[in-house]
C-alpha cells in the first residue's frame, strides 16, 4: 500500500496531546490522517486532514469511523474494543489489536497476562467488588499496606491508591479492582518497544521516572536512566519479551519497578506513544511518534539511540487554579539552554491536568537535570 498518497487514510482514535504530537509526523510524511474525538476543542482538530466528532466508547461511532480508514490506531486506551474487533474481522488493520487493548484495559486481565506469559510482576489479588477487599483483610487473606487499583479506566494516576488502613478504602470506586503488593523500589523505569508487522523490533533507551508524590503523575523523565548496565539490559529484555507476548504492532511502553535487590517487575504497559518517551522528540534519532507511525505502517523502524541526553518535565495545572490557562514565566524558561516547551493547546487548566511538557536536552545529563529543576521551579500553569 502506498502510504504517501492521498488514497491512503490513517485513522486515530482520540484527539488529545499524544495525537497532536503524532500529527506532527503524519504532516512530515504527508500521510492523510483522520481523527475521532468527542470534543470539538480537541488539540487534534487542527493538523488532521479530517476531524470527526464522536464518542470513543460508542460502538457505532468507532465502527463507522474505522470503516473510512485503511489503518486504525489509538492515542488513548479507552475506546470501544468491540467495534475494533468487528473491524478486524472484516480485515481492517487495527494497531494495537482489539485483543491487546482488551487485556490492557482491564488491570486484572493485564496482570493475569503477565503471569500467563511468565513475565515478572508484583504479586496481586483480584476482587470483583471493593467490599471483597475488606472481607479478605478481615479474614486474614490480605495485609496492609497494599496498592489498590481499579481494574478499569485508570489514567494518569487516577484509579491507584496506596492503602495502609481501612479508612484509605473510603470513597474508592466500588467496582472490580486488584490489590497488589507494595513493592519497595529504587527506581521506576520505562522502556518503549517499537515492533512492526514483520516482527522487527527496536527499543528506546531505558528511562528513569520521578513521580509527583501527591498527584502520582510523572514529574521528570530522565534519559538515559542512571542505572547499572546490567539492570538496563534486564529491563530491555523484559520489555521486548512483553511486546512479543502481545504480538504487538506499534509502540508498547513498558513501565517497570527496579526493586531494592535489582529485580525488574512490570508495573503496567501502554500500547501507544507514552509520556515516558516525549524527550525522544528532541533527544533521539527518531521520535517515539515517528517510530509509532513507522511501526503501524510497516515501514522500516528508525534509530532509537540518543543524540544527546534528555530530561522531560510535565507541565500540569497548579493547585488552586482552574479556568483559562496562562503559562507563567514561559519566556523565562525559554532563556535556558536546550529548553523546548510543548504546549498541548487545552484552553482550560485545572489542578494536575496535563497541559504540556518541557524537554531539556544537553550533552551532559547532569546539566540537563539541573536545568530541568530550574524549569520546574520557574514555570507555573495557572489561570487568568
Please give the annotated binding residues, written as ranges. Answer: 107, 149, 180-183, 188, 267-268
Q: Which is nearer to its own copies, 59 or 344 (CB)?
A: 344
- Taking the complex as a whole, how short is the minimal distance between the CB of residue 192 and its own copies, in angstroms? 18
Q: What whole-number distance in Å separates Cα of residue 302 and Cα of residue 307? A: 13
Q: Which is nearer to its own copies, 159 or 277 (CB)?
A: 277
- Taking the complex as a whole, how short is the minimal distance between the CB of residue 279 and its own copies, in angstroms? 13
Known binding residues for ATP are 107, 149, 180-183, 188, 267-268
Nearest-5° Cα angle at 21, 15 to 26: 90
DSSP notation for 96-133: S-HHHHHHHHBHHHHHHHHHHTT--B--EEEESSHHHH
Q: What whole-number distance in Å separates Cα of residue 84 and Cα of residue 95? A: 10
**3-state secondary structure (DSSP) of residue 281:** helix
In 4-28, which positions are buried (b, 16+ CB within 10 angstroms) versus exposed (e)?
eeeebbbbbbbbbbbbbbbbebbee
- Taking the complex as a whole, how short is the minimal distance between the CB of residue 316 and its own copies, in angstroms? 16
- Taking the complex as a whole, how short is the minimal distance between the CB of residue 308 and its own copies, in angstroms? 5
Q: How far is CA 203 from CA 48, 82, 149, 247, 253, in A?
A: 28, 30, 28, 15, 10
Q: Which is nearer to its own copies, 143 or 303 (CB)?
A: 303
Q: What whole-number distance in Å separates Cα of residue 95 and Cα of residue 251? A: 9
- Taking the complex as a whole, how short is the minimal distance between the CB of residue 326 and its own copies, in angstroms? 7
Q: Kindly list the residues in this chain that would bind its own copies in the complex (CB under 8 A).
A: 2, 4-6, 20, 23-24, 27-30, 46-49, 285-286, 290, 294, 299-300, 302-303, 307-308, 324, 326-327, 330-331, 334-335, 337-345, 347, 356, 361
What are the helix (H) ranges across the chain? 17-28, 59-66, 81-89, 98-105, 107-116, 130-138, 229-245, 280-283, 288-296, 330-333, 365-378
**3-state secondary structure (DSSP) of residue 252:** strand
487473606: which residue's cell?
Answer: 141
The answer to whether 39 touches 62, Cβ cutoff 8 Å, is no
- Taking the complex as a whole, how short is the minimal distance between the CB of residue 272 and its own copies, in angstroms? 20
Q: Give the cell for residue 345.
A: 493547546
- Taking the complex as a whole, how short is the minimal distance between the CB of residue 84 and its own copies, in angstroms? 26
The answer to whether 294 touches 326, Cβ cutoff 8 Å, is no
Q: Give the cell for residue 351.
A: 489542578
Q: Which is nearer to its own copies, 89 or 335 (CB)?
A: 335
- Taking the complex as a whole, how short is the minimal distance between the CB of residue 250 and its own copies, in angstroms? 17
**3-state secondary structure (DSSP) of residue 49:** coil
Q: Which is nearer to its own copies, 31 or 225 (CB)?
A: 31
Q: At what angle do helices 98-105 and 81-89 cross, to 10 degrees?
A: 160
Q: Which is nearer to its own copies, 107 or 357 (CB)?
A: 357
Q: Which is nearer to its own copies, 2 or 118 (CB)?
A: 2
Q: Which is nearer to its own copies, 189 or 381 (CB)?
A: 381
Amino acid at each position: 500500500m502506498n502510504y504517501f498518497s492521498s488514497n491512503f487514510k490513517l485513522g486515530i482514535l482520540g484527539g488529545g496531546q499524544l495525537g497532536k504530537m503524532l500529527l506532527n509526523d503524519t504532516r512530515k510524511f504527508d500521510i492523510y490522517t483522520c481523527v475521532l474525538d468527542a470534543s470539538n476543542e480537541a488539540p487534534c482538530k487542527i493538523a488532521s486532514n479530517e476531524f470527526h466528532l464522536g464518542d470513543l466508547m460508542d460502538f457505532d461511532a468507532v465502527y463507522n469511523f474505522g470503516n473510512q480508514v485503511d489503518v486504525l490506531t489509538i492515542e488513548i486506551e479507552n475506546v470501544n474494543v468491540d467495534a475494533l474487533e468487528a473491524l478486524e474481522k472484516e480485515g481492517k488493520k487495527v494497531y494495537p489489536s482489539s485483543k491487546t487493548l482488551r487485556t490492557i484495559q482491564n488491570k486484572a486481565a493485564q496482570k493475569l497476562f503477565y503471569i500467563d506469559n511468565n513475565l515478572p510482576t508484583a504479586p496481586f489479588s483480584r476482587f470483583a467488588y471493593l467490599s471483597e477487599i475488606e472481607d479478605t483483610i478481615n479474614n486474614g487473606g490480605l495485609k496492609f499496606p497494599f496498592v489498590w487499583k481499579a481494574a478499569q479506566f485508570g489514567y494518569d494516576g487516577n484509579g491507584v491508591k496506596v492503602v495502609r488502613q481501612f479508612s484509605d478504602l473510603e470513597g474508592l470506586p466500588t467496582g472490580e479492582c486488584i490489590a497488589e503488593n507494595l513493592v519497595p523500589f529504587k527506581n521506576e523505569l520505562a522502556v518503549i518497544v517499537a515492533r512492526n508487522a514483520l516482527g522487527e523490533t527496536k527499543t528506546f533507551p531505558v528511562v528513569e521516572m520521578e513521580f509527583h508524590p501527591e498527584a502520582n503523575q510523572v514529574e521528570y523523565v530522565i534519559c538515559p536512566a542512571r542505572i547499572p548496565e546490567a539492570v538496563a539490559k534486564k529491563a530491555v529484555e523484559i520489555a521486548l519479551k512483553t511486546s512479543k507476548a502481545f504480538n504487538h504492532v506499534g509502540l508498547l511502553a513498558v513501565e517497570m519497578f527496579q526493586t531494592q535487590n535489582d529485580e525488574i517487575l512490570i508495573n503496567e504497559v501502554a500500547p501507544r506513544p507514552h509520556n515516558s518517551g516525549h524527550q525522544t522528540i528532541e533527544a533521539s534519532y527518531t521520535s517515539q511518534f515517528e517510530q509509532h507511525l513507522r511501526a503501524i505502517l510497516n515501514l522500516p523502524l528508525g534509530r532509537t539511540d540518543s543524540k544527546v541526553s534528555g530530561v522531560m518535565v510535565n507541565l500540569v495545572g497548579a493547585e488552586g487554579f482552574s479556568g483559562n490557562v496562562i503559562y507563567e514565566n514561559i519566556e523565562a524558561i525559554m532563556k535556558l539552554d536546550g529548553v523546548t516547551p510543548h504546549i498541548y493547546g487545552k484552553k482550560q487548566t485545572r489542578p494536575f491536568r496535563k497541559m504540556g511538557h518541557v524537554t531539556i536536552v544537553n550533552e551532559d545529563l547532569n546539566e540537563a537535570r539541573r536545568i530541568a529543576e530550574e524549569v520546574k521551579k520557574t514555570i507555573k500553569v495557572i489561570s487568568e
